[in-house]
Amino acid sequence: MVAQTEATEIDRAVKARLRQMWALGDYPAVAEEVIPDLGAVLVRAADVQAGDRVLDVAAGTGNAAIPAALAGATVVASDLTPELLTAGRALAVRRGAELEWQQADAEALPYGDGEFDRVLSCVGVMFAPRHRASADELVRVCRPGGTIGLLNWTPEGFIGQMFAVMKPYAPPPPPGAQPAPLWGREDHVRALLGDRVTDVVTRRETVVVDRFASPEAFRDYFKTCYGPTIAAYRGIAGDPDRVAALDDALAEQARRHLKAGAMRWEYLLLIARRCG
């Protein structure tokens, strides 16, 4: 019982840390200004229809949830970070979308078995620390014959490589956590979902990002707006040499990818049908 209590307290601390990280900066701006159409790509690929019951897991500000609602689905947008849900509600009002917003942990979703026709996550569930637990929940809340649709950054793509650049400077991951970009590997996601799904379709695609005029502009924007980058810098704030080294590393990474004023960020799109 003591060990279980300690494990629960550690889990609460981990989730509190994640909530705080994603509340840093201005992720709503990142979602709206840098990758505004990415959620709609997932909604189309998952063939969301009017009348579908849809759950967007780790929805953030509703990058997928809002397009699903505008397609006529009955949508619940769930996320661990209440600040993102608040921003999502305001964005939904501006776009004329009606949906439900709920704070929820991707590793322990507060929904019934088979409650949703389509379960989606757009660069969201990948950041939950325990991949198996999250995958189990995605499958559990999807009805038999329903669709699971995932869009995640690949390890080899720009964002995956950015996390590799930041890793030596970032706070250590919590015990049992797996790297987020693994969700961008087809073999990893197939292993997580296992024989509980069928008709799996995957493809690697890129989103064109033309928001940044220079490598330094990208770096400074992410230092200001993107929670994981802000957290990395906060952890080394007392060491000017390490701050300068991370500055250089992020700018150099952007420089390698920035061509004719644009970057291409690779993601894995995976659509599967729950067995049963």
**Domain chopping of the chain, boundaries:** 2-155+173-206+265-274
Helix axes 227-235, 240-257, angle to 10 degrees: 150
Q: What is the mean pLDDT of residues 106-114?
A: 98
Through-space distance between the first and last CA atoms of the chain, rounded to whole angstroms: 36
Q: What is the mean pLDDT of residues 220-249?
A: 97
Whether residue 34 has pLDDT greater than 80: yes
Helix axes 2-23, 82-95, angle to 10 degrees: 40
Which residues have C-beta within 8 Å of that of residue 131, sequence separation ≥ 6? 178, 182, 183, 188, 192
The arrangement of secondary structure in 2-155+173-206+265-274, i.e. its CATH architecture, is 3-Layer(aba) Sandwich (3.40)
- Residue 196 CA to residue 273 CA, distance in Å, equals 9
- Residue 104 CA to residue 108 CA, distance in Å, equals 7
User: Quick one: tokens of 31?
Assistant: 């979602």
Task: Give start and end residues of each alpha helix (H) in 46-166.
Answer: 65-70, 82-95, 131-141, 158-166
Supply the pTM of this predicted model.
0.95
Q: How confident is the model at residue 6 (pLDDT cuts 50, 70, 90)?
A: very low
Contact (CB, 8 A) for 78 and 57: yes
Whether residue 122 has pLDDT greater than 70: yes
Q: How confident is the model at residue 7 (pLDDT cuts 50, 70, 90)?
A: low
Percentage of the chain lying above the pLDDT 90 cut = 92
